[in-house]
Amino acid sequence: MRIAMLASEAAPYVKTGGLGDVMQALPAELSKIKGNEIVLFLPYYKKIKLDPSIKVEAVGSFTMELAWRESYVGIFRLKSRRKKLQIYFIDNDYYFGARSTIYGDFDDGERFTYFSKAAMAALYYLNFKPDILHCHDWQSAMGVVYCRALYQAWCPNTKTIFTIHNVEYQGWADSSFFETTLGLPEFFRGHMTFDGSINLMKGAITMADVVSTVSKTYSQELCYPQYAHRLDGVLRNATLTGITNGIDVGVYNPETDAALRVNYSAADMSGKWENKRALREEMGLRTDVDTPIMGMVTRLAGHKGIDLLCYIAQKLLQRDVQLVIVGTGEKQYECILSALQKQYPGKVAVRLAFDPALACRVYAGVDMYLMPSKSEPCGLSQLIAMRYGGVPIVSETGGLKDTVPNYDPESKEGRGFVFSEYTGEEFLSAIDRAVALYYDDREEFNALAKRNMQTDFSWQVPAGEYMKLYTELLSK
Protein backbone atom coordinates (compact mmCIF):
# COMPACT_ATOMS: atom_id res chain seq x y z
CA MET A 1 0.00 0.00 0.00
CA ARG A 2 1.28 3.47 -0.85
CA ILE A 3 0.63 5.86 2.00
CA ALA A 4 1.36 9.60 2.04
CA MET A 5 1.35 11.41 5.37
CA LEU A 6 1.31 15.15 5.94
CA ALA A 7 2.08 16.69 9.32
CA SER A 8 3.52 19.85 10.82
CA GLU A 9 5.92 18.02 13.15
CA ALA A 10 7.72 14.74 13.62
CA ALA A 11 10.40 13.86 16.13
CA PRO A 12 13.37 13.86 16.09
CA TYR A 13 13.38 16.62 13.45
CA VAL A 14 10.82 18.93 15.03
CA LYS A 15 8.60 18.35 18.03
CA THR A 16 6.51 20.59 20.24
CA GLY A 17 4.11 17.99 21.60
CA GLY A 18 2.53 14.55 21.25
CA LEU A 19 1.91 14.94 17.54
CA GLY A 20 5.68 14.95 17.03
CA ASP A 21 5.97 11.60 18.82
CA VAL A 22 3.15 10.06 16.83
CA MET A 23 4.64 11.19 13.53
CA GLN A 24 7.97 9.70 14.49
CA ALA A 25 6.53 6.31 15.35
CA LEU A 26 3.45 5.65 13.21
CA PRO A 27 5.02 6.03 9.73
CA ALA A 28 8.01 3.96 10.86
CA GLU A 29 5.78 1.20 12.21
CA LEU A 30 3.66 1.17 9.04
CA SER A 31 6.79 0.95 6.91
CA LYS A 32 7.70 -2.34 8.62
CA ILE A 33 4.57 -3.96 7.23
CA LYS A 34 5.25 -5.93 4.08
CA GLY A 35 4.14 -4.25 0.87
CA ASN A 36 3.86 -0.77 2.38
CA GLU A 37 5.62 2.27 1.02
CA ILE A 38 5.36 5.39 3.17
CA VAL A 39 6.21 9.01 2.41
CA LEU A 40 6.01 11.68 5.09
CA PHE A 41 5.98 15.41 4.32
CA LEU A 42 7.13 18.06 6.79
CA PRO A 43 7.83 21.77 6.45
CA TYR A 44 11.55 22.54 6.10
CA TYR A 45 11.73 24.71 9.20
CA LYS A 46 14.79 26.83 9.91
CA LYS A 47 15.60 24.60 12.88
CA ILE A 48 15.79 21.55 10.61
CA LYS A 49 17.61 23.42 7.87
CA LEU A 50 20.34 24.57 10.23
CA ASP A 51 20.80 21.19 11.91
CA PRO A 52 23.99 19.68 10.48
CA SER A 53 23.06 16.22 11.73
CA ILE A 54 20.02 16.10 9.44
CA LYS A 55 21.39 15.11 6.05
CA VAL A 56 19.18 15.79 3.06
CA GLU A 57 19.37 15.71 -0.71
CA ALA A 58 17.64 18.04 -3.15
CA VAL A 59 15.01 16.29 -5.24
CA GLY A 60 13.53 19.10 -7.29
CA SER A 61 11.74 22.40 -7.28
CA PHE A 62 8.95 24.23 -9.08
CA THR A 63 6.65 27.17 -8.57
CA MET A 64 3.08 26.92 -7.40
CA GLU A 65 0.13 29.28 -7.20
CA LEU A 66 -1.39 30.08 -3.85
CA ALA A 67 -4.34 32.30 -4.83
CA TRP A 68 -2.57 35.32 -6.37
CA ARG A 69 0.90 34.33 -5.19
CA GLU A 70 3.47 32.51 -7.24
CA SER A 71 5.45 30.54 -4.65
CA TYR A 72 8.64 28.56 -4.80
CA VAL A 73 8.46 24.93 -3.67
CA GLY A 74 11.65 23.03 -3.01
CA ILE A 75 11.63 19.33 -2.23
CA PHE A 76 14.36 17.85 -0.08
CA ARG A 77 14.59 14.24 1.01
CA LEU A 78 16.20 12.84 4.11
CA LYS A 79 19.17 10.69 3.21
CA SER A 80 18.24 7.29 4.47
CA ARG A 81 18.71 3.67 3.65
CA ARG A 82 15.16 2.85 4.63
CA LYS A 83 13.56 2.86 1.23
CA LYS A 84 10.12 1.96 2.58
CA LEU A 85 9.94 5.22 4.53
CA GLN A 86 10.95 8.42 2.81
CA ILE A 87 10.85 11.73 4.64
CA TYR A 88 10.42 14.84 2.50
CA PHE A 89 10.84 18.45 3.55
CA ILE A 90 8.94 21.23 1.80
CA ASP A 91 11.33 24.12 1.37
CA ASN A 92 10.31 27.76 1.26
CA ASP A 93 12.33 30.37 3.13
CA TYR A 94 9.55 32.92 3.29
CA TYR A 95 7.18 30.57 5.12
CA PHE A 96 9.57 28.32 7.03
CA GLY A 97 13.28 28.51 6.34
CA ALA A 98 14.00 32.08 7.39
CA ARG A 99 12.03 32.33 10.61
CA SER A 100 12.38 30.56 13.92
CA THR A 101 8.72 29.96 14.66
CA ILE A 102 7.10 26.59 14.31
CA TYR A 103 3.64 27.85 15.31
CA GLY A 104 2.25 31.14 16.48
CA ASP A 105 2.96 33.51 13.62
CA PHE A 106 0.32 35.98 12.41
CA ASP A 107 0.13 34.14 9.08
CA ASP A 108 0.02 30.52 10.29
CA GLY A 109 -3.13 29.94 8.25
CA GLU A 110 -1.32 30.93 5.07
CA ARG A 111 1.89 29.12 6.01
CA PHE A 112 0.20 25.79 6.53
CA THR A 113 -2.17 26.17 3.60
CA TYR A 114 0.96 26.68 1.52
CA PHE A 115 2.56 23.60 3.10
CA SER A 116 -0.44 21.36 2.44
CA LYS A 117 -0.85 22.51 -1.13
CA ALA A 118 2.88 22.20 -1.79
CA ALA A 119 2.97 18.68 -0.36
CA MET A 120 0.18 17.64 -2.74
CA ALA A 121 2.02 19.28 -5.61
CA ALA A 122 5.18 17.45 -4.56
CA LEU A 123 3.37 14.09 -4.63
CA TYR A 124 2.32 14.92 -8.18
CA TYR A 125 5.83 16.06 -9.09
CA LEU A 126 7.29 12.83 -7.69
CA ASN A 127 4.52 10.86 -9.36
CA PHE A 128 3.81 9.15 -6.06
CA LYS A 129 0.13 8.36 -6.42
CA PRO A 130 -0.95 7.33 -2.93
CA ASP A 131 -3.58 4.76 -2.14
CA ILE A 132 -4.04 6.56 1.15
CA LEU A 133 -3.52 10.23 1.92
CA HIS A 134 -3.36 10.67 5.68
CA CYS A 135 -3.36 14.24 7.07
CA HIS A 136 -2.90 15.20 10.71
CA ASP A 137 -4.41 18.15 12.55
CA TRP A 138 -5.43 21.50 11.10
CA GLN A 139 -1.99 22.37 9.75
CA SER A 140 -2.27 19.70 7.07
CA ALA A 141 -6.07 19.71 6.77
CA MET A 142 -5.90 21.42 3.39
CA GLY A 143 -4.10 18.38 1.98
CA VAL A 144 -7.43 16.54 2.03
CA VAL A 145 -9.24 19.45 0.38
CA TYR A 146 -6.66 20.11 -2.35
CA CYS A 147 -6.47 16.39 -3.07
CA ARG A 148 -10.14 16.50 -4.02
CA ALA A 149 -10.19 19.98 -5.53
CA LEU A 150 -7.07 19.79 -7.71
CA TYR A 151 -5.92 16.21 -8.07
CA GLN A 152 -9.14 14.24 -8.51
CA ALA A 153 -8.30 13.43 -12.13
CA TRP A 154 -4.74 12.42 -11.30
CA CYS A 155 -5.53 10.22 -8.29
CA PRO A 156 -9.25 9.38 -8.46
CA ASN A 157 -8.80 6.26 -6.33
CA THR A 158 -6.85 7.84 -3.48
CA LYS A 159 -8.72 7.60 -0.17
CA THR A 160 -8.26 10.34 2.38
CA ILE A 161 -8.12 10.17 6.14
CA PHE A 162 -7.92 13.10 8.50
CA THR A 163 -6.77 12.55 12.09
CA ILE A 164 -7.63 14.97 14.87
CA HIS A 165 -4.96 15.03 17.57
CA ASN A 166 -6.49 18.02 19.28
CA VAL A 167 -9.70 19.71 18.23
CA GLU A 168 -8.85 22.86 20.17
CA TYR A 169 -6.70 24.16 17.30
CA GLN A 170 -8.72 24.34 14.10
CA GLY A 171 -7.16 26.91 11.80
CA TRP A 172 -9.65 29.77 11.85
CA ALA A 173 -9.39 32.60 9.35
CA ASP A 174 -11.38 35.54 8.10
CA SER A 175 -13.92 34.77 5.37
CA SER A 176 -11.81 36.65 2.80
CA PHE A 177 -9.11 33.96 3.28
CA PHE A 178 -11.12 31.89 0.83
CA GLU A 179 -10.27 34.25 -2.05
CA THR A 180 -6.98 35.70 -0.85
CA THR A 181 -5.27 32.43 0.03
CA LEU A 182 -7.15 29.20 -0.53
CA GLY A 183 -7.92 30.00 -4.15
CA LEU A 184 -10.48 27.20 -4.44
CA PRO A 185 -13.44 26.91 -6.78
CA GLU A 186 -16.59 28.49 -5.32
CA PHE A 187 -18.08 25.01 -4.82
CA PHE A 188 -15.82 24.50 -1.81
CA ARG A 189 -16.83 27.62 0.09
CA GLY A 190 -19.52 25.83 2.09
CA HIS A 191 -17.10 23.11 3.16
CA MET A 192 -14.63 25.69 4.41
CA THR A 193 -17.01 28.10 6.11
CA PHE A 194 -18.13 27.91 9.70
CA ASP A 195 -20.10 30.65 11.36
CA GLY A 196 -19.11 33.16 8.71
CA SER A 197 -15.38 32.42 9.02
CA ILE A 198 -13.04 30.01 7.33
CA ASN A 199 -12.24 26.90 9.34
CA LEU A 200 -9.58 24.67 7.80
CA MET A 201 -10.27 21.72 10.06
CA LYS A 202 -13.93 21.76 9.06
CA GLY A 203 -12.84 21.54 5.43
CA ALA A 204 -10.92 18.33 6.08
CA ILE A 205 -13.65 16.84 8.27
CA THR A 206 -16.30 17.33 5.62
CA MET A 207 -14.15 16.23 2.68
CA ALA A 208 -12.18 13.28 4.08
CA ASP A 209 -13.37 9.74 3.44
CA VAL A 210 -12.91 9.04 7.12
CA VAL A 211 -12.05 11.11 10.17
CA SER A 212 -10.19 9.53 13.02
CA THR A 213 -9.00 10.62 16.39
CA VAL A 214 -6.45 9.27 18.82
CA SER A 215 -8.62 7.29 21.24
CA LYS A 216 -12.04 5.63 21.28
CA THR A 217 -13.37 7.73 24.13
CA TYR A 218 -12.25 11.02 22.56
CA SER A 219 -14.00 10.04 19.33
CA GLN A 220 -17.24 9.79 21.32
CA GLU A 221 -16.57 12.94 23.35
CA LEU A 222 -16.06 14.94 20.16
CA CYS A 223 -19.76 14.69 19.40
CA TYR A 224 -20.53 16.83 22.45
CA PRO A 225 -20.17 20.60 22.72
CA GLN A 226 -18.14 20.55 25.95
CA TYR A 227 -15.28 18.79 24.14
CA ALA A 228 -15.56 19.77 20.49
CA HIS A 229 -14.74 23.49 20.60
CA ARG A 230 -17.81 24.18 18.46
CA LEU A 231 -17.27 21.45 15.87
CA ASP A 232 -19.57 18.86 17.51
CA GLY A 233 -22.30 19.37 14.90
CA VAL A 234 -19.84 18.94 12.05
CA LEU A 235 -18.31 15.90 13.71
CA ARG A 236 -21.63 14.22 14.36
CA ASN A 237 -22.12 14.15 10.59
CA ALA A 238 -18.70 12.69 9.88
CA THR A 239 -17.60 9.06 9.79
CA LEU A 240 -15.59 9.23 12.98
CA THR A 241 -13.45 6.51 14.47
CA GLY A 242 -10.87 6.28 17.27
CA ILE A 243 -7.51 4.51 17.31
CA THR A 244 -5.53 4.81 20.52
CA ASN A 245 -1.91 5.88 20.10
CA GLY A 246 1.04 3.82 21.20
CA ILE A 247 4.50 5.00 22.16
CA ASP A 248 7.81 4.35 20.48
CA VAL A 249 9.07 1.65 22.80
CA GLY A 250 12.51 1.87 21.21
CA VAL A 251 12.83 5.54 22.11
CA TYR A 252 11.11 5.29 25.49
CA ASN A 253 12.94 2.35 26.95
CA PRO A 254 14.26 2.35 30.52
CA GLU A 255 16.63 -0.47 29.56
CA THR A 256 18.52 1.73 27.12
CA ASP A 257 17.53 5.37 27.78
CA ALA A 258 20.81 7.29 27.93
CA ALA A 259 19.28 10.12 29.97
CA LEU A 260 18.87 7.94 33.07
CA ARG A 261 21.32 7.49 35.95
CA VAL A 262 21.07 3.72 35.54
CA ASN A 263 19.09 1.57 33.15
CA TYR A 264 16.64 -0.98 34.44
CA SER A 265 13.90 -3.38 33.46
CA ALA A 266 10.80 -4.92 34.97
CA ALA A 267 12.86 -7.97 35.86
CA ASP A 268 14.90 -5.91 38.33
CA MET A 269 13.29 -2.75 39.58
CA SER A 270 16.18 -1.80 41.87
CA GLY A 271 17.48 0.45 39.10
CA LYS A 272 14.28 2.42 39.38
CA TRP A 273 14.93 3.17 43.05
CA GLU A 274 18.42 4.28 42.05
CA ASN A 275 16.82 6.73 39.62
CA LYS A 276 14.45 7.88 42.35
CA ARG A 277 17.42 8.74 44.57
CA ALA A 278 19.13 10.47 41.66
CA LEU A 279 16.04 12.51 40.86
CA ARG A 280 15.84 13.71 44.46
CA GLU A 281 19.45 14.84 44.33
CA GLU A 282 19.08 16.52 40.95
CA MET A 283 15.93 18.37 41.93
CA GLY A 284 16.95 19.29 45.46
CA LEU A 285 14.36 17.16 47.21
CA ARG A 286 14.97 15.69 50.67
CA THR A 287 16.75 12.38 50.40
CA ASP A 288 16.35 11.14 54.00
CA VAL A 289 12.68 10.20 53.68
CA ASP A 290 10.62 7.30 52.36
CA THR A 291 7.86 9.27 50.68
CA PRO A 292 6.39 8.65 47.28
CA ILE A 293 7.39 11.12 44.58
CA MET A 294 4.61 12.28 42.32
CA GLY A 295 5.52 13.91 39.05
CA MET A 296 4.15 15.81 36.14
CA VAL A 297 5.79 16.70 32.84
CA THR A 298 3.46 18.98 31.03
CA ARG A 299 2.60 22.17 29.27
CA LEU A 300 1.40 24.47 32.04
CA ALA A 301 -2.06 25.02 30.64
CA GLY A 302 -5.46 24.96 32.29
CA HIS A 303 -6.79 22.06 30.27
CA LYS A 304 -3.92 19.88 31.48
CA GLY A 305 -5.40 20.22 34.95
CA ILE A 306 -2.66 22.41 36.39
CA ASP A 307 -5.39 24.63 37.84
CA LEU A 308 -6.80 21.62 39.66
CA LEU A 309 -3.38 20.75 41.03
CA CYS A 310 -2.83 24.33 42.22
CA TYR A 311 -6.25 24.25 43.86
CA ILE A 312 -5.47 21.16 45.96
CA ALA A 313 -1.76 21.86 46.44
CA GLN A 314 -1.90 23.13 50.03
CA LYS A 315 -3.95 20.13 51.15
CA LEU A 316 -1.87 17.69 49.15
CA LEU A 317 1.35 18.96 50.68
CA GLN A 318 0.11 18.28 54.20
CA ARG A 319 0.67 14.62 53.27
CA ASP A 320 3.98 12.78 53.28
CA VAL A 321 4.68 13.11 49.60
CA GLN A 322 7.08 14.87 47.27
CA LEU A 323 6.11 16.66 44.10
CA VAL A 324 8.15 17.25 40.92
CA ILE A 325 6.90 19.38 38.07
CA VAL A 326 8.65 20.06 34.77
CA GLY A 327 7.19 22.24 32.05
CA THR A 328 6.58 25.68 30.68
CA GLY A 329 3.43 27.54 29.84
CA GLU A 330 1.04 30.10 31.23
CA LYS A 331 2.63 32.69 33.48
CA GLN A 332 0.04 32.39 36.24
CA TYR A 333 0.85 28.71 36.79
CA GLU A 334 4.59 29.32 36.61
CA CYS A 335 4.16 31.84 39.43
CA ILE A 336 1.98 29.62 41.62
CA LEU A 337 4.30 26.64 41.20
CA SER A 338 7.44 28.67 41.92
CA ALA A 339 5.78 29.99 45.08
CA LEU A 340 4.95 26.42 46.14
CA GLN A 341 8.55 25.40 45.73
CA LYS A 342 9.61 28.27 47.99
CA GLN A 343 6.98 27.41 50.56
CA TYR A 344 7.86 23.71 50.63
CA PRO A 345 11.61 23.43 50.12
CA GLY A 346 12.82 19.86 49.78
CA LYS A 347 9.27 18.72 49.20
CA VAL A 348 8.33 20.47 45.97
CA ALA A 349 10.66 20.84 42.99
CA VAL A 350 9.71 22.81 39.92
CA ARG A 351 11.68 23.27 36.69
CA LEU A 352 10.16 25.75 34.28
CA ALA A 353 11.72 24.18 31.21
CA PHE A 354 11.05 22.06 28.14
CA ASP A 355 13.72 19.46 28.73
CA PRO A 356 13.16 16.00 27.16
CA ALA A 357 16.11 14.39 28.96
CA LEU A 358 14.98 15.64 32.36
CA ALA A 359 11.48 14.50 31.45
CA CYS A 360 12.76 10.93 31.08
CA ARG A 361 14.51 11.13 34.45
CA VAL A 362 11.23 12.23 35.98
CA TYR A 363 9.38 9.30 34.39
CA ALA A 364 12.07 6.98 35.77
CA GLY A 365 12.25 8.57 39.22
CA VAL A 366 8.63 9.02 40.25
CA ASP A 367 6.34 6.51 41.92
CA MET A 368 3.17 8.20 40.76
CA TYR A 369 2.43 10.26 37.69
CA LEU A 370 -0.28 12.93 37.79
CA MET A 371 -2.37 13.67 34.74
CA PRO A 372 -5.59 15.41 35.75
CA SER A 373 -6.41 16.72 32.25
CA LYS A 374 -9.77 18.33 31.65
CA SER A 375 -9.77 16.71 28.24
CA GLU A 376 -7.08 14.53 26.69
CA PRO A 377 -7.36 13.24 23.11
CA CYS A 378 -4.93 10.43 23.90
CA GLY A 379 -2.08 11.53 26.10
CA LEU A 380 1.32 9.92 25.80
CA SER A 381 2.90 10.84 29.14
CA GLN A 382 0.78 8.39 31.09
CA LEU A 383 1.97 5.63 28.75
CA ILE A 384 5.61 6.64 29.08
CA ALA A 385 5.23 6.90 32.86
CA MET A 386 3.84 3.35 32.99
CA ARG A 387 6.61 2.05 30.74
CA TYR A 388 9.09 3.49 33.25
CA GLY A 389 7.30 1.87 36.18
CA GLY A 390 5.10 4.68 37.42
CA VAL A 391 1.52 4.48 38.61
CA PRO A 392 -0.68 7.06 36.90
CA ILE A 393 -3.34 9.13 38.64
CA VAL A 394 -5.65 10.44 35.93
CA SER A 395 -9.00 11.99 35.18
CA GLU A 396 -11.47 9.79 33.35
CA THR A 397 -11.38 11.41 29.94
CA GLY A 398 -10.32 10.64 26.37
CA GLY A 399 -7.28 8.44 26.01
CA LEU A 400 -6.64 8.50 29.76
CA LYS A 401 -9.85 6.57 30.27
CA ASP A 402 -8.88 4.08 27.56
CA THR A 403 -5.33 3.46 28.71
CA VAL A 404 -5.57 3.65 32.51
CA PRO A 405 -8.28 1.38 33.91
CA ASN A 406 -8.91 2.10 37.56
CA TYR A 407 -7.06 -0.12 40.02
CA ASP A 408 -9.25 -2.49 41.97
CA PRO A 409 -7.64 -3.60 45.26
CA GLU A 410 -9.79 -6.76 45.35
CA SER A 411 -9.02 -8.20 41.93
CA LYS A 412 -5.73 -6.29 41.62
CA GLU A 413 -6.73 -5.36 38.11
CA GLY A 414 -6.24 -1.93 36.62
CA ARG A 415 -3.22 0.28 36.05
CA GLY A 416 -3.75 3.44 38.04
CA PHE A 417 -6.05 5.65 40.05
CA VAL A 418 -8.87 7.30 38.19
CA PHE A 419 -11.30 10.06 39.18
CA SER A 420 -14.40 10.74 37.15
CA GLU A 421 -15.95 13.87 38.60
CA TYR A 422 -13.73 16.81 37.70
CA THR A 423 -13.26 18.36 41.13
CA GLY A 424 -10.32 18.97 43.46
CA GLU A 425 -11.88 16.67 46.08
CA GLU A 426 -12.13 13.76 43.66
CA PHE A 427 -8.58 14.33 42.41
CA LEU A 428 -7.29 14.38 45.96
CA SER A 429 -9.21 11.26 46.85
CA ALA A 430 -7.64 9.40 43.89
CA ILE A 431 -4.22 10.56 45.10
CA ASP A 432 -5.09 9.37 48.61
CA ARG A 433 -5.98 5.90 47.35
CA ALA A 434 -2.60 5.71 45.62
CA VAL A 435 -0.71 7.03 48.65
CA ALA A 436 -2.52 4.58 50.92
CA LEU A 437 -1.48 1.64 48.75
CA TYR A 438 2.10 2.95 48.74
CA TYR A 439 2.30 3.12 52.54
CA ASP A 440 0.07 0.16 53.46
CA ASP A 441 1.11 -2.45 50.92
CA ARG A 442 4.39 -1.52 49.29
CA GLU A 443 4.80 -4.94 47.79
CA GLU A 444 1.53 -4.63 45.90
CA PHE A 445 2.28 -1.02 44.90
CA ASN A 446 5.56 -2.12 43.37
CA ALA A 447 3.91 -5.11 41.75
CA LEU A 448 1.41 -2.75 40.12
CA ALA A 449 4.25 -0.57 38.83
CA LYS A 450 5.96 -3.66 37.50
CA ARG A 451 2.83 -4.92 35.74
CA ASN A 452 2.54 -1.50 34.09
CA MET A 453 6.11 -1.83 32.83
CA GLN A 454 5.29 -5.17 31.29
CA THR A 455 2.23 -3.92 29.42
CA ASP A 456 2.58 -3.58 25.67
CA PHE A 457 2.11 0.07 24.70
CA SER A 458 3.96 -0.27 21.40
CA TRP A 459 2.71 0.98 18.05
CA GLN A 460 2.24 -2.51 16.71
CA VAL A 461 -1.42 -2.77 17.68
CA PRO A 462 -2.49 0.75 16.57
CA ALA A 463 -0.53 0.42 13.31
CA GLY A 464 -2.48 -2.77 12.64
CA GLU A 465 -5.73 -0.91 13.30
CA TYR A 466 -4.76 1.84 10.86
CA MET A 467 -3.98 -0.81 8.25
CA LYS A 468 -7.40 -2.32 8.80
CA LEU A 469 -9.01 1.09 8.39
CA TYR A 470 -7.02 1.82 5.22
CA THR A 471 -7.90 -1.58 3.78
CA GLU A 472 -11.59 -1.07 4.49
CA LEU A 473 -11.49 2.34 2.81
CA LEU A 474 -9.81 0.94 -0.27
CA SER A 475 -12.33 -1.85 -0.61
CA LYS A 476 -15.22 0.65 -0.79
Query: Interface with ligand GLC includes 208 (CB under 6 A)?
Result: no
Query: Interface with ligand GLC includes 214 (CB under 6 A)?
Result: yes
Beta strands in 202-279 (DSSP E): 210-213, 240-242
Q: What residues numbered 368-407 form the site for ligand GLC, per CB under 6 A?
A: 376-380, 399
Q: What residues numbered 423-442 form the site for ligand GLC, per CB under 6 A?
A: none
Nearest approach, Cβ of residue 124 and ligand GLC (Å): 28
Q: What residues numbered 447-466 form the site for ligand GLC, per CB under 6 A?
A: none
Query: Interface with ligand GLC includes 19 (CB under 6 A)?
Result: yes
Give the count of residues interacting with ligand GLC (CB under 6 A): 14
Which of 36, 158, 166, 217 is the binder for ligand GLC (CB under 6 A)? 166
Torsion of CA 324, 329, 332, 333, to 10 degrees: -20
Considering the complex, state which of residue 19 and residue 66 has its C-beta at the smaller distance from ligand GLC. Answer: 19
Q: Report the residue number whose CB is nearest to ligand GLC.
A: 18
* CA–CA separation, 333 and 127 (whole Å): 50
Binding part of the chain for ligand GLC, among 11-19, 186-194, 291-299, 315-323 by CB under 6 A, reads: 11-19
Query: Interface with ligand GLC includes 18 (CB under 6 A)?
Result: yes
Q: What is the DSSP string of 150-201?
A: HSTTT-TT-EEEEEES-TT---EE-TTHIIIII---GGGHHHHEETTEEEHH
Considering the complex, state which of residue 114 and residue 459 has its C-beta at the smaller distance from ligand GLC. Answer: 459
Considering the complex, state which of residue 238 and residue 247 has its C-beta at the smaller distance from ligand GLC. Answer: 247
* CA–CA separation, 327 and 470 (whole Å): 37
Binding part of the chain for ligand GLC, among 14-22, 31-39, 200-208, 268-276 by CB under 6 A, reads: 14-22
Q: Is the dihedral of CA 364, 368, 374, 380 positive or negative?
A: positive
Q: What residues numbered 234-273 form the site for ligand GLC, per CB under 6 A?
A: 245
Nearest approach, Cβ of residue 113 and ligand GLC (Å): 21
Nearest alpha carbon to residue 316 among 427, 407, 392 = 427
Nearest approach, Cβ of residue 305 and ligand GLC (Å): 12
Torsion of CA 184, 186, 189, 191, to 10 degrees: -80
Whole-angstrom CA distances from 279 to 244, 338, 349, 438 are: 31, 18, 10, 19
Q: Is the dihedral of CA 36, 41, 42, 44 positive or negative?
A: positive
Nearest approach, Cβ of residue 440 and ligand GLC (Å): 33
Whole-angstrom CA distances from 209 to 40, 144, 148, 296 are: 20, 9, 11, 38
> Which residues contribute to the site for ligand GLC (CB under 6 A)?
17-19, 22, 165-166, 214, 245, 376-380, 399
